[in-house]
Structures are given as structure tokens and as C-alpha cells.
Amino acid sequence: MDRFHQSPTDPAFVQDPYPAYAAARRRGSLHWWDAYAMPAAFDFATVDAVLRDRRFGRETPRELAEAPPAHLVPFYAIDDHSMLELEPPRHTRLRKLVLRAFTTRRIAALAPEIEALCHDLIDGFPEGAFDLLPAYCERLPVIVIARLLGVPEAMAPQLLAWSHAMVAMYQARRDRAAEESAAQAAGEFADFLRRHAEARRARPADDLISHLVAAEDAGDTLSTEELIATCVLLLNAGHEATVHTLGNGVKAILEHAAQDALAPDRVEGTVEEILRFDPPLHMFTRWAYEDAEIAGHRFARGDRIALLLGAANRDPARWHAPERFDPARPVRPNAAFGAGLHFCVGAPLARLELRIGLATLFARCPKLRLAAPPRYADLYHFHGLERLTVRR
Ligand code: HEM
């Protein structure tokens, strides 16, 4: 197998990973990625097929699971109960409980509230040049997911801090200090949610935490650890990727002068093109559970594979001129939300926030423009901006 020599923290790669992906894809589907010590798939067909292939999954094979080092126990006390790290039957049970609360009707009913929140945030924009990420892109998704779960909105800055510390565990720049702060954040987050769930048990409200507590009380469908892990996952997954997509989307619209593409009859396709062109999550991995041949390579139980969503979305075998941002192109499903069993639970909510968030922003600020060249943050496999300085 060909090798892919590429540091995921190389500044040029962080700013623009797509040329390296394209060069690898031209040489073949699978390459051994030194930095992760596993084969990586770069084309859409392979990435999509492995995501849907039940011979592969996210949960560590039983015989390879190791006890975490002492300093990471609080982190894995949560992560081990997260549906994102599990396979059936536990995954099925946890996902079903969450899906019950995330019905299409319930999500669609949030539209007026999301729009009102966008207007409030825009009313608060300062004069002159300012960073749109903290002023808008972060606030919108974190407040929406906090409200859905029933966590006080005033907690938003604390939720952001805990979440940033925890997701650093999945980033290439992870080191001992990042691990310690992830473990501390996980412990504090779990304590907060345990107290909050108790309060909801005493006085239920119409929010997701109350529904999960009721499911827990109704039998052994959900343990307290699972309840906490589910809330942490929803709060973290519920904003990290949406923040980056809003930022990447504003950048793409401004750099391509594509404001017209946010008209009501076009915004849906434009959001899909943003998710295809510059997705916020570039890589997920899978374990092989049995022997399988993928793109000519034989995998045995316990082998791993990296699936490059960011590369799959630029595959010329699926999209004409994939390097071009073209909001008018016909929509074909892309890999940004994954596929198969772990397909993003929050996709309908994320799409709604992106459509309303982008359309409202540009309707209210038609002269919005970049005040400095945007730069991506060193967070691989996350792909989002460090700062987005604009003027209205
Ligand atoms: C643009 C925004 C978003 C993107 C690009 C995104 C992307 C993804 C991807 C790629 C996965 C699958 C990972 C894998 O297969 O290994 C995933 C899973 C998940 N996402 Fe999202 N996500 C977004 C927003 C959200 C939101 C708003 C929520 C919650 C409200 C959410 C909740 C989840 C959950 C709970 C899972 C785990 C599903 C499972 O394991 O069955 N995501 N997301």
C-alpha cells in the first residue's frame, strides 16, 4: 500500500488539506497514513461503503479494550457510555431514545425560535471590525442545544469551555496537558449534569433531560452513566461541528460573492454545498470486526481504517469540478454527516440552524465583508476557523 506522509498539524495542510487529499486520491483509494498508523480511504465510494459495512464499527473489539490510564479515568467514565463509541445492542437502545426526542416535527417547530435568536445576536453586533465566531457562529448552536436539553442558557460559556477541552482528545495536537484538562472537564461536566438531572427528576420540564430522566425511571432502559454520557454527547456534538460549518460557510459565501445563493428557494442547496465543499469534521476511524477486503487490501479483526470525509467530498468520480464552490450544482448526498449506523442524529437540526443562521445573517447584514483573511485553527480532524473578522 502506498504511504501518505502528512503531518495533520503541518500549517499548510491545516490551512488547505484538499490538494494533499487530491494527490493521494489520484494514486489510489487507500494509503497507509503514517501519522495515524493505519490505512486511510480518500475516495467517496470506499468511505461511504465502509461507514455502512457492519463488519466495521466504532466500539473497540473486546479483546483489545484496555483499562485507561489513571489520569483519563474521568474522561472514559463518560466516553465509554457514549452512543458514538458503541455498537448494537447498546447503541440501538441509546440512539432510539434520543431519536424519539429529535422528531422531524419537533425540530421543524424550532424554526421561529432559531430565527428570533439570530435577530437578537445580530442586534448585539459591535460597530467596526469584529470576530463573527464568538458573536454569532458559536452562540447560535450552543444556545439552541442548551435550550433543547433544558440546560440554563447562562451556562453557554461554561458548556463551550468543557466541550472544547473534551474534544481536544480527538485532535492531532493532543498531549498530556490536553488529556488532563479533558479529564477535568469531563468530571465537572458529569457532576453538573448529575445535579441537573436530579433537579429535573424532582421538577420535570418539557425538555430532553426530563424525557431521558423519565426513561431512566421507567425501567432499566437508561443508566445514570448513560444519561450523563448522552447529554454530554448531545451538548458537544450539538454545537462543535455546527459552529465550524457556520464559519466555513460565511467564508465561502464571502470569498465567492455568493450572497444570492441564500435566497429562500436556493438556501437548502447552498447549505449542502457548504457541507460538501468545506466540512467541519474530516476524519473518523473504524475497527474491523472480521476479515474483510476493502479496495484490494485485506483487513483482519482488530485492524483500523481512517475514513476521510473531507477527501470523499471532493471526489471527482462523484462531483464535477469538485474543487469549485458551486451552490447551484445538483445536490447529491455527501459524507459530511457520515452514513450507516452512526449517521449524525443532529443532521436535521444542524441543517435548520445553518439555513436560518446564514440567510438571516446576510439578509440583515447585506454589506458583510471580510476585514482580515480568515485562517483555520490547528485542530485536525476538526476543520474550522480560528477567527472570522468581518465588518457589517
Ligand atoms: C454541521 C453540523 C454537524 C456535522 C457535520 C455532524 C457530523 C457528524 C458525523 C460525521 C457523525 C458520525 C461520526 C461517525 O460515523 O463516526 C455524527 C454523529 C453524531 N452527531 Fe453530528 N454533526 C453535526 C451536528 C450535530 C448536532 C447539531 C447534533 C445534536 C443535536 C449532533 C449529534 C450527533 C450524535 C449524537 C452523533 C452520534 C450518532 C451515533 O453514534 O449513532 N450532530 N455527526
Condensed to tens digits (0 to 9), the pLDDT of residues 17-50 reads 999 999 999 999 999 999 999 999 999 999 999 9
Task: Decide whether any atom of ligand 1 lies within 6 Å of the 307 Cβ.
Answer: no
Establish whether residue 280 lines the binding site of ligand 1, counting it when its CB lies within 6 angstroms of any ligand atom.
Answer: yes
Ligand 1: nearest atom to the Cα of 335: 10
The span from the CA of 231 to the CA of 210, in Å, is 11
Q: Ligand 1: distance of its center to the CA of 2 in Å?
A: 31
CA of 239 to the centre of ligand 1 (A): 10
Rounded Cα distance between 180 and 160, Å, is 17
Nearest CA to ligand 1 atom 21: 344
The rounded Å distance from CA 162 to ligand 1 centre is 18
| Pocket lining: 237 vs ligand 1, CB cutoff 6 Å | yes
Ranges in the chain, pLDDT < 70 = 219-220
pLDDT digits (tens, 9 = 90+) for 217-268: 776 578 888 999 999 999 998 899 999 999 999 999 999 999 999 999 999 9
At 43 the pLDDT is 98
- CA 336 to centroid of ligand 1, rounded, Å: 9
Ligand 1 atom at minimum distance from 280 CA: 5
Q: Ligand 1 centre and the CA of 343: distance in Å?
A: 7
The verdict on the CB of residue 146 being under 6 Å from ligand 1 is: no
Torsion of CA 145, 253, 320, 31, to 10 degrees: -60
Distance from the alpha carbon of residue 346 to the mean position of ligand 1, in angstroms: 6
What is the best residue among 104, 307, 344, 353 to mutate for testing ligand 1's pocket, by most ligand atoms within 8 Å of CB?
Answer: 344
Residue 366 Cα to ligand 1 middle (Å): 31
Distance 142 CA to ligand 1 centre (A): 14
Q: Is 58 left (phi over 0), alpha (psi -120 to 50) or beta?
A: alpha
* Shortest-distance Cα residue to atom 17 of ligand 1: 344
Q: What percent of the chain has pLDDT over 70?
A: 99
In this prediction, residue 287 carries a pLDDT of 98
Query: What pairs with residue 288 in β-bridges?
Result: 56
In what side-by-side order are the strands of the sheet with 56-57? 3-4, 30-33, 38-41, 304-308, 283-288, 56-57
- Report the atom number in ligand 1 closest to the C-alpha of 349: 27
Ligand 1 within 6 A of 238 CB?
yes
**CA-closest candidate to residue 337, choices 307, 305, 309, 376:** 309
| Cα 290 to ligand 1 centre (Å) | 26
pLDDT (0 to 100) of residue 217: 73
Which CA distances in Å does 283 have to 40, 125, 296?
Answer: 9, 34, 21
Instruction: Render pLDDT for 164-186 as a digit per residue (tens, 0 to 9).
Output: 899 888 887 789 999 999 999 99
